[in-house]
Amino acid sequence: MRRELNNGNRSGRPYQQGPSEGYRPASQGAPTISLPPPPSEPTAVHPSPPSESNDAHPAKASRGGNTYDLLTCVGEGTYGKVYKAKKNDTGLIVALKRIRMEGEKDGFPVTAMREIKLLQNLRHENVIRLHEMMVSKGSVYMVFEYMEHDLTGLLSLQGINFTPANLKSLNYQMLSGLAYLHDKSILHRDMKGSNILLNARGELKLGDFGLARVYSKFKRDDYTNRVITLWYRSPELLLGETVYGPTVDTFSAGCIMLELFTTKPVFQGNDEIHQLEVIYSILGTPSEEDWPDVKDLPWYELVKPKESLPSKFREIFSKWLSPAGLDLAQGLLAFDPARRLLADQAMQTPYFTSEAPPMEKPLQ
Report, as residue numbers or ranges, the catalytic residues. 190
Integer Cα distance of 209 and 48 in angstroms = 30
3-state secondary structure 44-65: CCCCCCCCCCCCCCCCEEEECC
Minimum distance, C-beta of residue 194 to ligand AMP, in the bound complex (Å): 4
Of 109 and 235, the one with the shorter C-beta distance to ligand AMP is: 109
- Residue pair 13/231 in contact by the 8 Å Cβ criterion: no
Minimum distance, C-beta of residue 330 to ligand AMP, in the bound complex (Å): 28
Of 212 and 283, the one with the shorter C-beta distance to ligand AMP is: 212
Taking the chain, what is the end-to-end CA distance rounded to the nearest angstrom?
13
Going by C-beta distance under 8 Å and a sequence separation of 6 or more, which residues neighbour residue 78? 111, 208, 210
Of 49 and 207, the one with the shorter C-beta distance to ligand AMP is: 207
- Residue pair 58/137 in contact by the 8 Å Cβ criterion: yes
The sign of the torsion formed by the CA atoms of 137, 142, 147, 150 equals negative
Of 144 and 280, the one with the shorter C-beta distance to ligand AMP is: 144
Of 73 and 328, the one with the shorter C-beta distance to ligand AMP is: 73
Strand partners, 130: 144
- Residues marked as binding for ATP? 97
Integer Cα distance of 192 and 231 in angstroms = 8
Minimum distance, C-beta of residue 64 to ligand AMP, in the bound complex (Å): 22
Summarize as ranges the residues that interact with ligand AMP (CB under 6 A).
Answer: 10, 74-78, 82, 95, 128, 144-147, 150, 194-195, 197, 207-208
The residue whose Cβ lies closest to ligand AMP is 77
Integer Cα distance of 5 and 354 in angstroms = 41
- Residues marked as binding? 97
Going by C-beta distance under 8 Å and a sequence separation of 6 or more, which residues neighbour residue 318? 326
Q: What would you report as the CA-atom Rg of the chain, rounded to the nearest whole angstrom?
A: 21
The sign of the torsion formed by the CA atoms of 2, 120, 96, 101 equals positive
